Amino acid sequence: MRKTTKSPVVRRLAAAAVALGSCLALAGPAGSAGAAPADPVPTVFFGDSYTANFGIAPVNHEGSEKAFCFQAKENYPTVATRRLADKGITLDVQSDVSCGGALVRHFWEEQELLPGTDWKVPPQQDALKQDTQLVAGSMGGNTLGFNRILKQCSDKLRTEGALLPGEPVDGDEPASKCGEFFESGDGKAWLDGQFERVGWDLEELFERIGYFAPDAKRVLVGYPRLVPEDTTKCLTAAPGQTQLPFADIPKDALPVLDQIQKRLNDVMKKAAADAEGGADFVDLYANTGSNTACDGADRGIGGLLEDSQVELGDFKLPWYAHPNEKGRDIQAKQVADKVEEILNK
């Protein structure tokens, strides 16, 4: 696999824009260190279903094709913005373009919402403005192909997961063997290539933010932990549920899924650390180990095939392992805390 994006060009443009922004900042009046910004902070939120908070109702844009982004009216950007306002920090949200199913490349390419239709949303970078001062969101999981990984490990998702995008990585391999599939041979090679792509695309994302919003603080938000360290907890259904949190995914595959998620978290953290001009990372994985899908009443993640709050007609969509309201609130708190820290520097 080789990189096909035009990063060198964008990198040069971004460097020039960042340098110009730095000069303008130096020329401006000095603020007092540690003080919250007095003026509203122009902000753009971007991302995929974990920023949109798929599964939480009601959704934005009802009555239009954009409803199929499944962006919750009360997603973590909305809740985090409210938390910050309570602390005297006002975000002027110019746009929240988070959309379920978004890959990292949909930051600079339009996204098809439903296969077989002409319903699309424009590139998320179109929301950025020269005066945007904060850009935050979550991306990477769909580029990795986490849905395909889940389908590789679950017969139920292969047959009942039609609404979950993607096919198993290798449908000829039995779901019961998915753990060893991803640890050797073709499965491991596929996974290595996917992680490489995530790293490249996140590099491109940061460069584009630096170019289109040169003065913006950049915040990449990681994903909450799905699988606990003690996977025996996943053999019990959550209170009031009949499905196991990870449905029929084999118990011996759960640690492998956790290792894959930990590796994704590390790739995202490294991309933020290496971003030219600086970027921050919200490490949700490290701080949600007691709120996984298998933590019963304390869980912050809805189980794979448990009913979410979102309905299509008379059918309730499954959570597909997305944050419930408790998980959304955890996301919002940690994002708000990081933004407060950044803006008070």
Neighbours of 151 (CB within 10 A): 24
> Which residue pairs, CB below 8 angstroms and at least 24 apart, start in 58-61?
59/310
Active-site residue, from 53, 98, 142, 308: 142
Residues 240, 229, 187, 3, CA torsion sign: positive
Dihedral class, residue 193 (left if φ above 0, else alpha if ψ from -120 to 50, else beta)? alpha
Q: What letter does residue 301 receive in the DSSP assignment?
A: B
Is 101 one of the catalytic residues? yes
Q: What letter does residue 31 receive in the DSSP assignment?
A: P
Helix (H) or strand (E) holding 120: strand 120-121
Q: How many residues does the chain have?
A: 345
Active-site residue, from 49, 98, 138, 147: 49
Active-site residue, from 53, 140, 322, 324: 322
Bridge partners of 111? 121
Read off the amino acid at residue 154.
S
Count of alpha carbons within 13 angstroms of residue 184, beta-carbon side = 4
Is 142 one of the catalytic residues? yes
Helix (H) or strand (E) holding 27: helix 7-27
Q: For the chain, how big is the Rg over CA atoms in Å?
A: 20
Active-site residue, from 47, 55, 100, 101: 101
Residues 82, 329 contacting (CB under 8 angstroms): no
Neighbours of 25 (CB within 10 A): 10
The residues assigned a catalytic role are 49, 101, 142, 322
